[in-house]
Amino acid sequence: MEHTNIKTLGALKASGYTYKSIKEELRSNLIELKKAKQDTFTGVHGYEKTVIPQLERAILSKHNINLLGLRGQAKTRLARQMVNLLDEYIPVVAGSEINDDPLQPISRFAKELIVAQGDETPITWLHRSERFAEKLATPDVTVADIIGDIDPIKAANLKLSYADDRVIHYGMIPRANRCIFVINELPDLQARIQVALFNILQEGDIQIRGFKLRFDLDMQFVFTANPEDYTNRGSIITPLKDRIGSQILTHYPESIEIAKTITQQEAKLEENQAKNIYVPELAKDILEQIGFEARESEFVDVKSGVSARLSISAYENLMSTAELRMLASGEANTTVRLSDFMGIIPAINGKIELVYEGEQEGAASVAENLINDAIKSLFPDYFPAIEKLVRKQDSTPYDEIIKWFIEGTDFELANDLTNKEYQVQLDYIQPLSDLLTKYQPNLDAKDLNFFKEFVLWSLVTHKKLSKVALDEGYGFTDTFESFIDGI
């Protein structure tokens, strides 16, 4: 209801306003959206047939909700988007600390004000954007923080005894009356604090320092939790789980296309980067494949999860790596190169938890292995698979390239090559151009150089060539020469 020009209780009654609980608001507005064939949760990709229908069912059932999933699975985003299902404005008794509804007041302040002023009781309007409260559960959270406590300063100022309920200072939950209240990482909340939520969830009443307050709190609770927390740091106590109506499992993107959509939506790029740096589609695919490889890696603690933020941060780093080269060369534009992926290693390091074997391997080494694994996984989508063992008399599509390296001189790709120098250097390997002409004849000219480098790196990951890190770039040689140099 949007009669925001109404300023008194009498005018509100005359307008025909009727009280509606927050769960009824969410339910009725969701029904209207579904009837209008409109999306309920936007900007959350990959959940259209899994998580979102379950969430809609929970809202229709007027349940409190627990979103259970690993980190970086948009749990908090889903909770925040529920605000869009609220009425745009609701009336509130002016001056109320706990958003009292004028027709259903619950606080002593609001009740006494209405008795004293009747239809002249002042009314204010609360926008839905202000009806969202969020608390990260940490071990230091107290009952006073979330429910309330006696305020001795208020008692002294008002000259009241501690037996008077007007000395109470309300915590976060009463102050979020008629709001969506989110508690993130619920298992981190101490068990005794979880116990304090029992009656709020079931009966809506709270108790503060011996005051038995029959507050019929009107709230929509949404909890988020990581299943690994149940064993690592704490657990959701069974009686509390029993009082949460719906527990919904979230998940990571199930395809590269969905993952790319999320990354492109969430990555924060500067206008100069987006305008002047061309990113081949294959580069975006490799970037997303790194996350998929990490979730399967023996070096990564998969129980901890590999957040979607890995791809987002890595994409931002990738663009910055290309931009840095562009600035150094003084060129107006550039294209992402495969060697630029070495610039995303810091982003990967910060987003994965390593098991013991991974720690022994080293974070940077694991990150580089993930990049190589992603390249190796995607290569057969574009070129014939590189066989590990080949009979001597058999030929492969890559023989001429390998032969070029055996017969040719050392080949280097410096990081600071200009666009023209980079192209000339790659064009120097004629068998590489021939391979692309045969197997990728319709390739966009802008993608040509990236694909050439992609083939070289793939031959390295299959141990057909060797890659050597130089001070300012990489060198490629045949494996025998690399072996001799090692000796």
For residue range 221-258, list pLDDT tens digits in order.
999 998 865 545 568 888 888 889 999 999 999 999 99
**pLDDT tens profile 199-212:** 777 666 666 655 55
Tell me what pLDDT residue 137 has.
87
Among 144, 217, 149, 132, smallest CA distance to 183 is for 132
| 182 three-state secondary structure | strand
Mean pLDDT score of the chain: 88
When pLDDT is cut at 50, 70 and 90, the band that residue 216 belongs to is confident
**Cβ 132 vs Cβ 18: under 8 Å:** no
Q: Check if the beta carbon of residue 56 is closer than 8 Å to that of residue 50.
A: no
Q: In the prediction, which pLDDT does 18 show?
A: 93
pLDDT at residue number 450? 96
State what percent of residues in the chain have pLDDT above 90.
Answer: 61
What is the model's pLDDT at position 486?
A: 47
For 269-334, give the DSSP string.
--HHHHHHEE--HHHHHHHHHHHHHHTT-TTB-TTT---THHHHHHHHHHHHHHHHHHHHHT-S-E
Question: What's the distance, Cα to Cα, between the start and end of the chain in Å?
Answer: 81
Looking at residue 31, its pLDDT comes to: 97
Provide the pLDDT for residue 483.
43
* pLDDT value at 408 more than 90: no
Residues 468 and 477: beta-carbon distance below 8 Å: yes
**Whether the Cβ atoms of residue 307 and residue 316 lie closer than 8 Å to each other:** no
Residue with tokens 């009498």: 10
CA nearest 64: which of 250, 249, 205, 240? 240
Give the least confident one: 127-141, 200-214, 268-282: 200-214
Helix axes 430-439, 419-427, angle to 10 degrees: 90
Q: Which residues of 427-448 are buried (b: 16+ CB within 10 A; e: fewer)?
A: eebebbeebbeeeeeebeeebb
**Averaged pLDDT for residues 361-370:** 93
Q: Is the pLDDT of residue 487 over 70?
A: no
Fill in the DSSP letter of residue 101. Answer: B
Q: Quick check: helix, strand or coil at residue 252?
A: coil
- Note the pLDDT tens digit of each residue in 283-336: 999 999 999 999 999 999 888 889 889 999 999 999 999 999 999 989 999 999
User: Is 50 exceeded by the pLDDT of residue 141?
Assistant: yes
Which of 246, 295, 289, 254 lies closest to 49, judged by CA? 254
What are the tens digits of pLDDT across the range 41-100? 998 999 999 999 999 999 999 999 999 998 889 999 999 999 999 999 999 999 998 999
Count of CB atoms situated within 10 Å of the CB of 289: 21
pLDDT at position 90 is 95
pLDDT band (50, 70, 90) for residue 129: very high
Amino acid identity at 341: F
Q: Which of 188-197, 245-254, 323-332, 475-484 has the lowest mean pLDDT?
A: 475-484
Strand pairing of 473-478 and 465-470?
antiparallel
Query: What are all long-range contacts of 10-15, with beta carbons under 8 Å and residues at least 24 apart?
Result: 10/118, 10/119, 10/120, 11/119, 11/123, 12/91, 12/102, 12/103, 12/123, 13/103, 13/119
More confident residue, 393 or 459: 459
The SS3 assignment for 350 reads coil
Residue 240 has a pLDDT of 86
Alpha-carbon 281 to chain mean position: 22
H or E element in which residue 392 lies? none
Q: Report the DSSP beta bridge partners of residue 149.
A: 169
Inform me whether the pLDDT recorded for 1 exceeds 60: no
Mean pLDDT across 257-282? 93
* Distance between CA atoms of residues 465 and 485, nearest Å: 14
In terms of Cβ atoms closer than 10 Å to its own Cβ (0-12, 13-18, 19+), residue 141 is: middle
Residue 442 pLDDT exceeds 80: yes
Q: Which amino acid is at 57?
A: R
Rounded alpha-carbon distances, angstroms, from residue 60 to 31, 54, 182, 245:
8, 10, 18, 11
**E strands, 94-192, where?**
123-127, 132-136, 148-150, 168-170, 180-184
Where is pLDDT greater, at 8 or 160? 8
| pLDDT score for 150 | 64
Give the pLDDT of residue 302: 81
Residue with tokens 């997303």: 288
Q: Is the pLDDT of residue 217 over 90?
A: no
Count of CB atoms within 10 A of residue 384's CB?
A: 13
pLDDT at 166: 65
pLDDT (0 to 100) of residue 197: 83
**What pLDDT score was predicted for residue 239?**
85
List of domains in the chain: 9-249 (3.40.50.300), 253-381 (1.10.8.80), 385-487 (no CATH)
Alpha helices in 68-224 (DSSP H): 75-81, 108-117, 143-146, 152-158, 172-175, 191-196, 198-202
Give pLDDT, residue 107. 85
Mean pLDDT calculated for residue range 11-39: 94
Nearest Cα neighbor of 246 from 56, 45, 31 is 56
HSE-CB of 352 using CA atoms within 13 angstroms: 34
Cβ 186 vs Cβ 236: under 8 Å: yes
